[in-house]
Each structure stands twice: as structure tokens, then as C-alpha cells.
Amino acid sequence: MVDFAGKAEPGTTKKYKTGTWRTYKPILDKEACIGCEKCWEYCPDSCKIETEYDGDIIFDTDLDYCKGCGICAEECPVEAIEMELDEK
Amino acid sequence: MKEIRIHGRGGQGSVTAAELLSESAFEDGLEAQAFPAFGVERRGAPVKAFARIDDEPIRIRSQIYEPSHVIVQDPTLIGTIDVTKGILDGGMIIINTSRNPDQLDLNTQAEVVTIDATKLALDILGKPIMNTALLGAFSGATGIVSIEAMKNRVKARFPGEIGEKNALVMDKAKEKMEE
Ligand code: SF4
Ligand code: SF4
């Protein structure tokens, strides 16, 4: 047995939760979101998730990976996303 | 000899902090050295930097395994790596967090000091660059390096407004330690 070598499994990036790096986090106003998908398109970390809210489709954030860049808040046409200091 | 280990993430300026710390000690007439631990060099990856300060010439060149002081730039590292590793009894850990020491789950005999350095940096610099705040806190909490020397070094490294603002951050952080 070799105990100095390692094997990388596929899909390990998923386990690497990069969300802890952020300074700000996006807060979604679920009522205001019109489900336009803009934030989903622009998010560089692919962490917008389609969810259902009150029978409508909205896009919330997977905070395990969101790095708080604020692009989604910038792009949202109805200003449904606000960036808030993520206290740690 | 004081041995300081700084934990941060790539991009947070851990190495710069170690350098400023040792340069300041040098300006105070002490002997000093600073060096990084090379690891995965990418933004966000955990990184370490070290500084040694003494009033005698420093001959040792190894990494620091038993620090007297630890500075933690990013509290989310606490769950990932053991920031208390090797710390001497009677040592001190300074952590950037909005929480109080008793709200942190740290198994250590060392004194734990916290400061919301990110907030201080955001308030004054407008950017979450918190290493100068932590240096000010280090000066305030330990007195090992004078705040004057630190402010001089930061102003020399970042001339103009940025240096001035960082010097102000250092002053405020030191004040917070003395509260
Ligand atoms: S802040 Fe940036 S990383 Fe986070 S959800 Fe918005 S676009 Fe994605
Ligand atoms: S851009 Fe705004 S309105 Fe469109 S889906 Fe995202 S949060 Fe909802």
C-alpha cells in the first residue's frame, strides 16, 4: 500500500465550499423577484437556484458557494437583491 | 523572542502584514524577519505568513511551529485549519471576527482577543482589506511593536491617501484594544 499518494475523486469542487470567503451576502426580496433569470445568467459562481415561492418561480442563492461579488444585485432589473455585510 | 504566525486567505495580504510587522519592529530598533509559507497560491486558499521579533540577532531560519502570537485574518478558517496549533502557553491569538472570544469554539490555553477588523476596514477604507487593522490591534494588545513605527511603515509602503487611511485604521484598532 502506498500511503504517500492520493487519489482525487471526481466532483471534489462541489465539496469545496467557497462561500466562506465572502464579505457581503445577497439578500433576496422574494416578493419583488420576478423570476427573470438575469441573476442566474450573470452569477460567476453558478450559485443561483431556481425555487418556487408562492406558486411563482424565483431565483435564490446557494450560500455554500456565493462569494458575495454583488453582480446579481447590480444586474437585477427590479432591485430585488440587496447586499448585506455577512458577519462572521 | 516573539514568534508570530498569521493565518489568512490568498489575496488578503497575510504576507504584507508579516512584512509590515517586521519592518515596524526594525524601525523600533529590534531585530526582525518575515517570510511566507508557500502553499497553494490561489485566491481564497488558506495561507500562512510568519514574523520573528527579538532584541537579539535572530539566527533561526525555520518555519514557526510554536508561535507566541497568532493572527487570524479570516474567522472562517477556524473550522478548516487548527489556528491554535503549537501556540505557547501564555500566548495570544488575535482574531478578526464580529463575535466575542467566548462565542468562538477554540480549544486553547492562549488568550483569545477579537476585533471586527473587516468592519473597521470597510468603514474607513471602504474595502474589506483588514490586515492593517489587525496590525494596529496587535500593537495595542501586545505593545511589542509601537503604533508609530507601524504607521510610518504603512505610509512608506502605500504613499498618499491610502497610507494615511490605513494609518488611521491602525490607530482605531489600537484604541479598540485599549477599551
Ligand atoms: S453575489 Fe455574486 S456570487 Fe453571490 S449570488 Fe450574486 S452574483 Fe453570484
Ligand atoms: S434578476 Fe432579480 S428579478 Fe430576476 S430572477 Fe434574479 S432576483 Fe429575481
Confidence of residue B46 (pLDDT cuts 50, 70, 90): confident
Would you state the pLDDT for residue B134?
Answer: 98
- DSSP letter string over A11-56? TGGGGS-GGGG-SEEEEE-TTT-----HHHHH-TT--EEEEEETTE
Q: Which residues of B touch A18 (CB under 8 A)?
A: 44
Interval B84-124: pLDDT, tens:
999 999 999 999 999 999 999 888 999 999 999 999 999 99
- Helix (H) or strand (E) holding A60, with range, is strand A56-61
* Interface list for chain A against chain B, based on CB atoms closer than 8 Å: 18, 20-21, 23, 85, 87-88
- Distance from the alpha carbon of residue A40 to the mean position of ligand 1, in angstroms: 9
Residue A6: exposure state from Cβ atoms within 10 A (0-12, 13-18, ≥19):
exposed
* Eight-state DSSP code of residue B128: -
Interval A35-84: pLDDT, tens:
999 999 999 999 999 999 999 999 999 999 999 999 999 999 999 999 99
Would you state the pLDDT for residue A5?
Answer: 67
Interval B153-167: pLDDT, tens:
999 999 999 999 999
- Of the residues B76, B114, B125, the best mutation for testing chain A's interface (the one with the most A CB atoms within 10 Å of its CB) is B76
Q: What is the mean pLDDT of chain B?
A: 94
**Cell numbers describing residue B159:** 504613499
Confidence of residue A30 (pLDDT cuts 50, 70, 90): very high
Q: Which residues of A touch B7 (CB under 8 A)?
A: none
Report how far residue A87's alpha carbon sits from residue A76's, in angstroms, rounded to the nearest whole number. Answer: 24
DSSP β-bridge partners for residue B69:
B4, B92
Report how far residue A76's alpha carbon sits from residue A36's, in angstroms, rounded to the nearest whole number. Answer: 9
* Eight-state DSSP code of residue B64: P
- What number of other Cβ atoms are within 10 A of residue A52's Cβ? 9
Q: Which residue of B lies nearest to A23 if distances are taken between CA atoms?
A: B128
- Helix (H) or strand (E) holding B117, with range, is helix B117-125
Confidence of residue A1 (pLDDT cuts 50, 70, 90): very low
- Distance from the alpha carbon of residue A48 to the mean position of ligand 1, in angstroms: 8
Cβ contact B119–A85 (<8 Å): yes
* Eight-state DSSP code of residue B103: G
Cβ contact B44–A21 (<8 Å): yes
- What number of other Cβ atoms are within 10 A of residue B144's Cβ? 17
pTM of the predicted model over 0.90 = no
Q: What is the C-alpha radius of gyration for chain A, rounded to an integer number of angstroms?
A: 16
Confidence of residue B39 (pLDDT cuts 50, 70, 90): confident
Report how far residue B110's alpha carbon sits from residue B88's, in angstroms, rounded to the nearest whole number. Answer: 7
Q: Give just the sign of the alpha carbon dihedral B163, B165, B166, B167.
A: positive
What Cα–Cα distance (Å) separates residue B84 from each residue in A87, B96, B134? 22, 14, 17
- Distance from the alpha carbon of residue A72 to the mean position of ligand 1, in angstroms: 5
Interval B47-65: pLDDT, tens:
999 999 999 999 999 999 9
Confidence of residue A4 (pLDDT cuts 50, 70, 90): low
Q: What is the C-alpha radius of gyration for chain B, rounded to an integer number of angstroms?
A: 15
Count Cβ neighbours within 10 Å for each residue of A18-49 and write b for 16 or more, e otherwise. Answer: ebbbbbbbbebeeeebeebebbbeebebebbe
Interval B123-147: pLDDT, tens:
999 999 999 999 999 999 999 999 9
Q: B157 and B107 in contact (C-beta within 8 Å)?
A: no
Would you state the pLDDT for residue B22?
Answer: 98
> Max Cα separation, chain B?
42
Residue B41 has pLDDT above 80, yes or no: no
